Amino acid sequence: MILILALNLENKWTELVQKAEKTVVHIVSLKKNNDNLWTNNHSEGSGFMFQMEGSIITNHHIVANSDQIIISSEEGTVFSAELIGSDPILDIAILKIPIQFWKKPLEFRNLENKKLLPGEEVMAIGNPFGLSSSVSKGIISAVDRFLDTKNYLKWGLIQTDVATNPGNSGGPMFDSEGRLIGMTSGKLAGEVENINFAIPIDKIIYWSEKILKNKAIHPMIGLEVKEDYINQDASSMKKILKITNMSQSTKNLISKNDIILKINGYAIDSKSKAFEIVDSLDYPDTIELLIFRYGVGEIKVSLNLKPRELDDRYL
């Protein structure tokens, strides 16, 4: 009985791969070398069929500043693609391909109705080092990850232990039902193993619609924040979000060491949640903060949102 169950599960994943790999492509982004016109700089990655007919979704960093984008399908067909638009902050790009090469994408999982949970089995398909349709399997390690690197901030990411390598970026990640849950986006560098990240599919859908309307502007408030514990006591397990610095435009309303209690009525206890709430708002708009200031108490503050640049480190 156990052997039969194991075989059924194995066959299930095999069938899912056979279906999914038909929607995955290998992307080569070419950029002319002005110093030597006989050579090209290029980057490689993966992509997959998206919901709009004739479209492919991939990472922005793969196709940024490209002069030509070459696509090869799982069957070996090669064709050119056109960049429709991209969002460097979320790191997604939408490509247009000849309609005859487009295939219906995998079903997207509704992450609001069925949330991702640590421990779920997931699978990724990509083209690491140009090795087409390479499959790797693992589990979700964590959700809603906040990533603070030397060059940029990322939030709301899926963390997995799925093996990824250069060339996997932009490929699909799907669950045990064959539904898309996200896009492989990168891994931690250095002396680490099996710490990889994916962009959730609901964020991809939300921001791709804004890209197509030329409204992909990520808002921010203009505050530097850090997670801390009440009275600096980690054993309390109660986190707070403390303001450590602020932009010039907010200095007359916000003070250093103010604690953010709520944003637009939502209670805040983590950087990831704060960034998610702010990022879900439309620019231009205003935002209301409930803050606690030592010696004063609770204060409501209304601030104007600002457009976020790629290297901004503000909330």
By the 10 Å C-beta count (0-12 exposed, 13-18 middle, 19+ buried), 162 is classed as: buried
Structure tokens at 5: 């169950």
| CA gap 28, 197 in Å, rounded | 22
Q: Which class for 37: exposed (0-12), middle (13-18), buried (19 or more C-beta within 10 A)?
A: exposed
* Beta-strand pair 219-220/223-229: unpaired
| Residues whose CB falls within 8 Å of the CB of residue 261, separated by 6 or more in sequence, listed in order | 267, 268, 290, 291, 292, 298
- Which of 26, 46, 55, 61 is catalytic? The answer is 61
Put residue 207 in one of left, alpha, beta given phi > 0 → left and psi -120 to 50 → alpha. Answer: alpha
169 assigned to active site: yes
Of the residues 91, 175, 258, 279, which is catalytic?
91
Which structure tokens are listed for 274?
């704060």
Contact 132, 47 (CB under 8 A): no
With residue 16 as reference, give the H or E element that holds it: helix 2-20
CA distance 7 to 146: 38
Answer left, alpha or beta for residue 195, where phi above 0 means left and psi between -120 and 50 means alpha.
Answer: beta
Which of these is catalytic: 169, 185, 208, 272?
Answer: 169
Q: List residues with catalytic annotation.
A: 61, 91, 169
